[in-house]
A and B are shown apart, each in its own frame.
Chain A
Amino acid sequence: MRALFDRLADALERGVRGHEVIAATLEAEASEFVRINHGRLRQAGRVERAVARLRLVDGERQALHAITLPGLDAGSEALDAAVVAAIGSLRGAIADSEPDPWLDLNRAPVRSDDATPQRGFDRAAFIDCVAAAAGDADLVGFCSAGPVARGFCSSTGSRQWYLRSRVAFDWSVHLPPDASAAGERRAVKASWSGETLHPDALARAIAASLADASVIARPVRRLAPGSYRVLLAPQGFADLLDLLNWGGFSARADRSGQSPLAQLAAGRATLSPLLTVAEDLGTGLAPGFQGDGYPRPRRVPLIEHGRFAGLLVSPRSAREYGLESNAAAASEVAESLRVAPGELPPEAALARLGTGILVSNLWYLNFSDRPAGRVTGMTRFASLWVEDGTPVAPIEAMRFDDSVYRMLGDRLEALGTAVATLPADATYEARATGGVEVPSALISAVRFAL
């Protein structure tokens, strides 16, 4: 993939003329995708795809054109042809454009290379392992494997490169619907990932998840709507943060009146002093550069001890709103959020919860009232009713509807000492990079509405 990137960069340098500057981001992957249902292979295949997002700048005007490159092994001749055609299209678009006062492209010749070795994937070994480990269990899962690359290059000499090779298997083990609770579904969720496949380790992880499923074999508990104490497991907390990341840390969303954390940013509300959140690239889960060609800072504070500490400001938003850029991506979505740990050890968490709900996963979150920070969503997978620190039954899926200023404000009792690293697993259009590092959260009351 690096060779493809270099050939693309060379083609860009050959393609421009006069005062033009051209830059491109590259998103490339060679992915094996495997879907499992009932412990057996449901749908599997390979996708090879490389998309170059080209930007042509001519004076104060610019235009953007994304092209799919003609194969991961495309040679210089094919890339030259693709780039020449793209530049022709871009010149036509620029002719229909006006000066862009918010244009900002880094023209410095930045060079960086952050790549792990590109690994192969043994297809037969994977499916043999899963089928044997699952046995007769109703295991449903999804594996993505292979290299994912990101690059930025420009006709001014910039070449920034990022590649990770990873096997990630994410699955759930399902028990038959509970006939005593209107067929309510019961399942536990698990995942395993590594730079390459280790069948023995994967088999052990699957076996552990089958054992975990015993806790949900009990009859489902149906809870009445109302407020309950909640221990939010790291994945559940990550699900809540994922919603807040939908504009909550974005300078553009804040200035546009579309941020769910607008009251925090305006100083009209605070969160718990236990809560410190930053965009932190230290894990290496996300590239250290962004689409305008700027290297990204290692850490951008967003919330410090419950108070507003900053926003993600892209170079474009900086120009639009007169702010200082911190080289955020154009989307101003945090790519590598980190929540600082607290003082609640994992072994003491259920006892501190006492009686309430252990929420392993949240699902399908959205805003009930975005500017007010009120959010809704569902519990999912092995969310358990806990009595006096002991899990006693899985619960029927419940809908919460509450304010983040309450849940993560005065009702936040503690954060876990252990921080889980959860790589992004989204595969819409392309396999995602990034992820979150997050502890568990103990909340004294969450309002469940349905």
Chain B
Amino acid sequence: MIDAPLRVRAPSAGARVAIRVVRTQTERLMVRRSLRMPIETTADAGAMVTVWRRHGVGYCASADLSSAGLDAAAQVADEWARLAERHGVFDRVELDAVLDDRPLPDDAGPHGEALPARPDLFGLLHAESQALACDPRIVSWTARLAVTRGEQALQVDGRWRVRQSRRYVEANLEATAVDGPVSQTRTLAGQYNGFARQGGFEVIRASGLIGGGARVADEALQLLAAPECPSGVYDLLLAPDQMMLQIHESIGHPLELDRILGDERNFAGGSFVTLDMFGHYRYGSPLLNVTFDPGVPGELAGYAADDDGEAARKVWLIRDGVLQRPLGGGLSRARAAARGVVLEGTANSRAVGWHRPPIDRMANLNVEPGSASLESMIASVERGVLMSTNASWSIDDARNKFQFGCEWGRLIEAGRLTSVVRNPGYRGVSATFWRGLGAVGDATTVEVLGTPFCGKGEPGQVIRVGHAAPACLFRGVDVFGGG
């Protein structure tokens, strides 16, 4: 844990000063085409000084952690806070009430099992790399691991509000098979991230990396020989590793309160959700229950408090299909309240590091399990497609019209899984898609997943999010293949 309090002078009367110190260390190991790649490590440390005035807030971030450096940062932050008082969006917002300086307990997250030494980790990767290289049509194959240790502390008006530390582990395997003009990539956990959780060696075991190389390679070759996914209206059974993306894009982002308040309209976009929808809007079928849950053991974005120091707890965003509350941190809720809309929110004001200011983000955003077994969902489908592992994602700036693609598809015909199909994709509209949720898998179908790559904000921030979900069945979806 970060232990030494930092000294900074209040830059002017009436200014409250918060300092958020963040330190991270990352190590990346990769075996590519059966060769050990150079080890990549990082070490990053710095602080963001934020000055809160009654109707304005400003920040300055620096890696100079000396008293002189922090004092200089506080002066810049104070100037921006004063300008925000003059021209800001906070006229009727009482910012003093947002910043809580009461200490919270230290939180170190799940300790996890000890990680083996580098040579042993490389040994695991080499073994899977050999398994991936099983056929000359596999032209590219990688096995990789990443471990990040992060610690951060938030100091408000000279005393600690909260200190937290976490270890994040990511694992992935990837194989690309090529035959003439056809190319297919299959992965353990997605082409752009990996299996990602907090913890230790148990994350690597849970990822399926150990012994997974043969399966990933075999499935890449199966896809190479498979027909294209058919086009038409089909029932759609989504595995948890595609549900992750579906939740993220068409529930998570539209519910971010800063988007609803219009902050992101110049970049990431707005939302089809409006302030007047909370408490009564039917987001999905009565089977849909969505929670913000920072306490799921090992889930990637678990934490004790957000980056404005608000203690985090599990809350329902959508209950029985009805929209309950947004993903809104304290500052966004205060802005909504100043417009006359009082909302219960979530502790989700988050920044990717010391060099970026907090904004409303998803954290652990989960679909709660239902009661259907995987077998019963398959059996209930006359004409459908099972899709797994996201490969492509695109959605409009109001988070409504989406098109997603997956690595792996299997037809469901007359209640049975049948042939493999390649390039499976589907389109829909968020505002109606979730109302077609026909069955929600039980707890045996739930997987706890996440991604380190959620992009948003100006300046841009790529942050970790967790998504736990069961398999889910949607009725009457527009499905298509490649070509």
Residues of A that sit less than 8 Å from B by CB: 31, 33, 35, 37-38, 40-51, 55, 61-74, 86, 89, 93-94, 96-98, 100-103, 123-124, 127-128, 130-131, 138, 140-142, 144, 170-172, 174, 183, 185, 187, 189, 255-258, 262-263, 266, 268, 320, 363-372, 374, 376-378, 380, 397, 399, 401, 426-429, 431, 449-450
- Residues of B near A429 (CB, < 8 A) are 460, 462
Pull 25 A–B residue pairs with CB atoms less than 8 Å apart, ordered by A: A41-B56, A45-B76, A45-B77, A45-B80, A47-B60, A63-B38, A63-B39, A63-B40, A70-B65, A71-B64, A97-B38, A97-B39, A98-B36, A103-B38, A172-B265, A256-B176, A257-B183, A257-B185, A263-B181, A367-B405, A368-B482, A374-B483, A427-B459, A428-B455, A429-B462
**Judging by beta carbons under 8 Å apart, are B458 and A35 in contact?**
yes
Per the bound structure, the CA–CA distance linking A266 and B178 in Å amounts to 13
Across the interface, B61 reaches (CB within 8 A) one of A48, A266, A428, namely A48
With A64-B39, A66-B41, A98-B36 known as contacts, the answer to whether A45 contacts B427 (CB < 8 A) is: no
Q: How far is the CB of A260 from chain B (nearest CB, A)?
A: 10
Q: Whole-angstrom distance between the alpha carbons of A74 and B66 in the complex?
A: 11
B35 and A364 within 8 A (CB):
no
Once the chains are docked, how many angstroms separate the CA of A417 from the CA of B274? 43
A174-B265, A257-B177, A449-B403 known; A68 vs B41 contact (CB < 8 Å): no
Are A123 and B83 within 8 A (Cβ)?
yes
Whether the Cβ atoms of B396 and A64 lie closer than 8 Å is no
> Closest CB-CB distance, B359 to chain A, in whole Å?
8
Task: Tell me whether B263 is interfacial, beta carbon within 8 Å.
Answer: yes
B297 located at the interface, meaning its Cβ lies under 8 Å from any Cβ of chain A in the complex: no
Chain A residues in 8 Å Cβ range of B176: 256-258
CA A426 – CA B79 in complex, angstroms?
A: 26
Known: A64-B40, A428-B461. A45 touches B58 (CB 8 A): yes
Give Cα A49–Cα B356 distance, bound, in whole angstroms. 11
Cα-based distance from A257 to B185 in the complex (angstroms): 8
User: Given the complex of chains A and B, what is the CA–CA distance between A172 and B263 in angstroms?
Assistant: 11
- Answer whether A366 and B262 are a contact pair too, CB < 8 Å, given A70-B63, A74-B64, A257-B185: no
A142: B residues at CB distance < 8 A:
266-267, 458-459
Q: Say yes or no: is B87 at the interface (Cβ < 8 Å to chain A).
A: yes
Contact of B357 among A31, A45, A170, A371 (CB under 8 A): A45
Query: In whole angstroms, how far apart are the Cα atoms of A368 and B397 in the complex?
Result: 19
A49–B46 contact, CB under 8 A? yes
Assess A399 versus B403: contact at CB under 8 Å? Given A48-B62, A71-B62, A71-B69. Answer: yes
Q: Please measure, in the bound complex, the distance between the C-alpha atom of A237 and the C-alpha atom of B272, giving whole angstroms.
A: 27
Of all chain B residues, which has the CB nearest A255? B139
Q: Which of A127, A144, A376 contacts B83 (CB 8 A)?
A: A127
Number of A-B residue pairs having CB atoms within 8 Å of each other in the complex: 268
- B-side contacts of A48, CB under 8 Å: 60-64
Check B459 against A68 for contact (C-beta < 8 Å).
Answer: no
Are A366 and B394 interface neighbours, CB within 8 A? Answer: yes
Q: Which residues of chain A have C-beta atoms less than 8 A from B357's C-beta? A: 43, 45
Q: Which 5 A-B pairs have the closest CB atoms?
A: A71-B64, A369-B482, A45-B59, A256-B140, A427-B459
Q: Is B435 an interface residue (CB 8 A)?
A: no
Evaluate contact between A37 and B38: CB separation under 8 angstroms: no
Interface contact A366-B63, CB-CB below 8 Å: no
B260-293 CB mask vs A (1 if < 8 Å, else 0) is 0111011101101010000000000000000000
B 41-81 binary contact with A (CB < 8 Å = 1; else 0): 11111101010000011111111111001000100110110
Cβ B83 vs Cβ A97 within 8 A: no
B122, B183, B478: the one within 8 Å of A96 (CB): B122
Contacts A45-B60, A96-B122 hold; do A66 and B178 have CB atoms under 8 A apart?
no
Q: Which of B60, B429, B455 has the most CB of A within 10 A?
A: B60
B27 → chain A closest CB, angstroms: 8
Number of interface residues of B (CB under 8 A): 89
A45 to B61, CA, bound (A): 8
CA distance A41 to B85 in the complex (A): 9
User: Distance (Å) between the CB of B42 and the closest chain A CB?
Assistant: 4
Residue of B with least CB distance to A66: B42
Residue B182 at the chain A interface, CB threshold 8 Å: yes
- Contact call A37/B263, Cβ cutoff below 8 A: yes
Contacts of A124 in B (CB 8 A): 83
Q: Determine the chain B residues whose CB is within 8 A of the CB of A64 once the complex forms.
A: 38-41
A residues in contact with B134, CB < 8 Å: none
Residue of A nearest to B64 (CB): A71
CB <8 Å contact, B427 and A449:
yes
The listed residue (B87, B89, B397, B460) touching A363 by CB distance below 8 A is B397
Bound CA span A276–B125, Å? 42
Q: Is the CB of B38 within 8 A of A364?
A: no
B104 within 8 A of A: no
Residues of B within 8 A of A44 (CB): 58-59, 80, 83-84
Asked if residues B62 and A37 are in contact (CB atoms below 8 Å), the reply is no
Residue on B with the closest CB to A139? B266
Most buried by B among A44, A68, A368, A450: A44
Q: Any chain A CB within 8 A of the CB of B425?
A: yes
Most buried by A among B118, B267, B274: B267
A residues in contact with B181, CB < 8 Å: 262-263, 266, 268, 371-372
Question: Is B14 engaged at the interface, CB distance under 8 Å to the other chain?
Answer: no
Nearest CB on B from A42, distance (A): 5
Known: A42-B88, A69-B63. A428 touches B397 (CB 8 A): no
Q: Nearest chain B CB to A363's CB is how many angstroms away?
A: 6
Pick the contact of B403: A55, A89, A401 (CB < 8 A): A401
B221 to chain A, nearest CB (A): 13
Residue of A nearest to B262 (CB): A37
Q: Please tell me if B475 contacts chain A, counting CB pairs below 8 Å.
A: no
B194 CB to nearest A CB, Å: 16
Contacts of A47 in B (CB 8 A): 60-62, 355-356, 459
Chain B 318-355, CB within 8 Å of chain A: the 1/0 string? 00000000000000000000000000000000000001
Q: A45-B58, A189-B266 are in contact. List 15 more A-B contacts (CB 8 A).
A: A42-B89, A45-B60, A45-B77, A46-B80, A49-B63, A50-B63, A66-B41, A98-B35, A141-B266, A187-B265, A258-B185, A374-B482, A378-B396, A401-B403, A426-B460
In the assembled complex, which residues on chain A have CB atoms less than 8 Å from the CB atom of B45?
Answer: 68
Given the known interface contacts A62-B38, A71-B64, A374-B482, the answer about A140 and B265 at a Cβ–Cβ threshold of 8 Å is yes
Contact of B398 among A74, A127, A185, A266 (CB under 8 A): A185
B458 touches A33 (CB 8 A): yes
Check if B394 sits within 8 Å of A377, measured CB to CB: yes
Which of chain A's residues has its CB closest to B403's CB? A376
